[in-house]
Chains A and B, each alone.
Chain A
Amino acid sequence: MISLSEVLKEYSSEVAIGPVDLEIPRGGITALVGPNGAGKSTLLTMIGRLLGLDAGTIEIAGYDVASTPSKDLAKIVSILRQENHFITRLTVRQLVAFGRFPYSKGRLTVADEKIVSEAIDFLGLGVLENRYLDQLSGGQRQRAYVAMVLSQDTEYVLLDEPLNNLDMRHSVQMMQHLHRAAEELGRTIVIVLHDINFAGHYADRICAMKEGRVVEFGTPAEILTDDVLTRVFDTPVRVIDGPNGPLAVYY
């Protein structure tokens, strides 16, 4: 369980994130949605300890994010940001193997290699594993980074807009991979999404944010209504019944 209490990040007297009180239960996919500048990514980076808090506490599985040593947290939670600095002369497999650093400290064992292979196969990167990162398309590279996060083998996985730069087919595949990771590997995945329909279809819970605060938290069925979405996104939204569940129409 990830629990946030009174979490606050102040940028200026007008711009602040929080105070946020939120409990994200174990298991499944929780999607963070909301308009631009709502604070979704900021909240995610604070949970992933990449950004300090000004007030409040965040606990992941009972460990306080601010006081638990970073190297211990790295075995509990992994985070993937939108922009990654990528280095040349690094193959997909070597990148994924970096995910084992919290355990191996760079000295890979046979067991580490096996987990790395599993993460690569899980995301269907087997044929690409010896390619250099700069020889990949944006979507393939995105998948390689997700594989690295999976090979870190943490119960909690935080992903900041992993569907960025992905086309229709790869977005769907990515969400299916993540859904399987939650289902088969028992991971708790928190993900920032822009497309409310992706959130509605694949997420188990949706957390809607607006102006730095959590305004709605519930199952997709509870969030995907005309009322709620119109209020959250400040734009007229109609929810209709699609062939695979409710669909938000906003254009």
Chain B
Amino acid sequence: MAETLAAPAPVGQRTSRSLGTSRSRRRYWIILSILLVLAVGFAFGLLAWDNPMPFSTSGFWRIAELRAANLVVMVIVAICQATATVSFQTVANNRIVTPSIMGFESLYVAVQTSAVYFLGAAGVIALQGLPQFLLQIALMVAFALVLYGWLLSGRYANLQIMLLIGIIIGGGLGSVATFMQRLLTPSEFDVLAARLFGNISNAHTEYLPVAIPLCIVPAVLLWLNARRLNIVSLGRESSIGLGLNHRAELMKVLFLVSILMAVSTALVGPMTFLGFLVATLAYQFADSYDHRLVFPVAALTCFVVLSGAYFVMRNIFYAHGVVSIVIELVGGAVFLFVILRKGRL
């Protein structure tokens, strides 16, 4: 492939745009269309499969409407996870990290566990409701901001150290949670365990009016910032050299990422592997460095993976909702296959 690409383009056709050749352009749009078809297919499948009423009767749509809430949740989670992970990997200049290692999920697990620990099985109920949902988001965003603000403004401002401290704090919170889980009665633990798997059914429809704007606004802002993100991916020194205020850019992106991650985690629970999986796949599919091309592919891939996993779980294994298991199993296999075949991230 290298040889064909190396041929000099004829004069007048030299362009620096991503998707400069008609072949790469065609390839990108074909992949995007396939993802779109898959997404629509799974979405329709989730609405229509096993629907007892005949298609296009009013009863059909009534049942479909009930199921549509789950679809909306999946769209939100897909946009959140995909956009957040791609942006986070860019500012971290590292393709093998995910924002969840910054302690979001450990914090979520710790909050859920301590609720059950202190309040018993009623604790799970105590954490449901719009104020509690908002409180969890606020807590996670505040936690992230304190960490970023403290670590990125000091004398030894360094993203790698910040990541390391994030992992350590996450590990600490995780241990505390594990310790409390040990002391729970089996029935309380059983109630808790259901909350600790990423599960679409964890979400309640009453959260959606808040979750939708909290997902759309940061995602759109990151999308509008895509050209700057392209520069940030060159690293700190090159981006300053090109006139970017690198630290401000970093703080802005990390803030938006923390909102997206907090919304997704508070909505459905931990999805550690999902973001990483779709970001890596999206770079393979889009075959470009350009965030403006990678973001839509990543979000669509994420939705296809989520809805596909949900469809399989619901209609083949009858294990309603616990999608993170399928995602990690099938997604991990796909991920290994793609990496081993292509040989680069």
Q: Hey, which bits of chain A sit against chain B, CB under 8 A? A: 45, 48-50, 70-75, 78-81, 84-85, 87-91, 93-94, 96-99, 101-102, 105-108, 112-113, 116-117, 126-132, 134-135, 149, 152
Q: Check: B65 CB closer than 8 A to any chain A CB.
A: no
Whole-angstrom CA separation of A80 from B231 in the bound complex: 15
Most buried by B among A81, A98, A126, A131: A98
Closest 3 CB pairs of A and B: A74-B243, A106-B227, A85-B235
A94 touches B16 (CB 8 A): yes
Instruction: Determine which of B236, B237, B242, B288 lies in contact with A101 in the assembled complex, contact meaning CB atoms within 8 Å.
Output: B242
B158 within 8 A of A: no
Given A70-B244, A97-B16, A130-B6, do A87 and B233 touch, yes or no (CB 8 Å)? yes
Residue contact A71 to B243, C-beta cutoff 8 Å: yes
Most buried by B among A81, A106, A116: A106
The answer on a CB contact under 8 Å between B6 and A127 is yes
Supplied contacts A87-B289, A98-B234, 11 more A-B pairs, CB within 8 Å: A74-B241, A80-B241, A81-B238, A93-B16, A94-B289, A97-B16, A113-B14, A113-B16, A126-B8, A134-B344, A135-B2
Distance from A15 Cβ to chain B, minimum over Cβ atoms (Å)? 16
Report chain B residues within 8 Å CB of A96.
16
Complex contact A89–B283 (CB within 8 A):
yes
B118-154: which residues lie under 8 A (CB-CB) from chain A?
A: none
A84 adjacent to B238 (CB under 8 Å)? yes
The reply on B201 being an interface residue by CB < 8 A is no
Q: Which residues of B contact A132 (CB under 8 A)?
A: 2, 5
Cα A129 to Cα B205 in complex, Å, equals: 52
Verify if B328 is at the interface (C-beta below 8 Å from A).
no
Count class of interface residues, chain B = 35 or more
State whether B234 touches A106 (Cβ < 8 A). Answer: no
B228 surroundings in chain A (CB, below 8 A): 106
Which chain B residue has the least Cβ–Cβ distance from A121? B14
**In the complex, how many angstroms separate the beta carbon of B172 from the nearest chain A beta carbon?**
30
**Do B289 and A93 have beta carbons less than 8 Å apart?**
no
Expressed in whole angstroms, the Cα–Cα distance for A226 and B195 within the complex equals: 77
Does residue B245 face the partner (Cβ distance < 8 Å to A)?
Answer: yes
B230 within 8 A of A: yes
Q: List 22 A-B contacts (CB under 8 A).
A: A48-B241, A49-B240, A50-B240, A70-B243, A72-B243, A74-B243, A75-B243, A79-B237, A79-B241, A88-B344, A89-B287, A93-B15, A98-B230, A98-B234, A101-B242, A106-B230, A112-B16, A113-B14, A127-B7, A129-B14, A132-B2, A135-B2
Question: Counting CB contacts under 8 A, is B213 at the interface?
Answer: no
User: Which residue of B9, B15, B17, B231 contacts A98 across the interface (Cβ within 8 Å)?
Assistant: B231
The residue of chain B having its C-beta at the shortest distance from the C-beta of A77 within the complex is: B241
- Cβ contacts under 8 Å, A98 to chain B: 230-231, 234, 238, 242
Q: With a CB–CB cut-off of 8 A, which chain A residues contact B14?
A: 93, 113, 117, 129
Task: Tell me the chain B residues, 1-29 only, with Cβ under 8 Å from chain A.
Answer: 2, 5-9, 14-18, 20-21
> Smallest CB-CB separation from B286: which chain A residue?
A89
Give the chain A neighbours of B241 by CB distance below 8 A: 48, 50, 74, 78-80, 149, 152
How far apart are the CA atoms of A90 and B287 in the complex, in Å?
9
Neighbouring A residues of B245 by C-beta, 8 Å? 70-71
Chain B, residues 207-230, CB within 8 Å of chain A (1/0): the string is 000000000000000000001101
Nearest-CB distance from A205 to chain B (Å)? 23
B345 within 8 A of A: yes
The B236-256 residues at the A interface (CB cut-off 8 A) are 236-238, 240-245
The reply to whether the CB of B93 lies closer than 8 angstroms to some CB of chain A is yes
- The answer to whether A99 touches B288, judged by C-beta atoms less than 8 angstroms apart, is no
Docked complex Cα distance between A70 and B231 (Å): 14
> Is there contact, CB below 8 Å, between B240 and A70?
yes
Whole-angstrom distance between the alpha carbons of A128 and B2 in the complex? 10
| Measured CA separation A49–B20 after assembly (Å) | 34
Residues in chain A near residue B344, CB distance under 8 A? 88, 134
Who on chain A is nearest to B4 by CB? Answer: A130
Question: Contact: B243 with A94, CB < 8 Å?
Answer: no
Contacts of B20 on A, CB cut-off 8 Å?
A: 91, 93, 130
Cβ of B291 to closest chain A Cβ, rounded Å: 10
Q: Are B234 and A85 neighbours in the complex by a CB distance under 8 Å?
A: yes
A117 to B8 Cα, complex, angstroms: 12
Report the minimal beta-carbon distance from B292 to chain A, rounded to whole angstroms: 9
In the assembled complex, the Cα of A229 lies from the Cα of B190 at a distance in Å of 77
In the bound complex, residues from chain A placing their C-beta under 8 Å from that of B289 are 87-90, 94
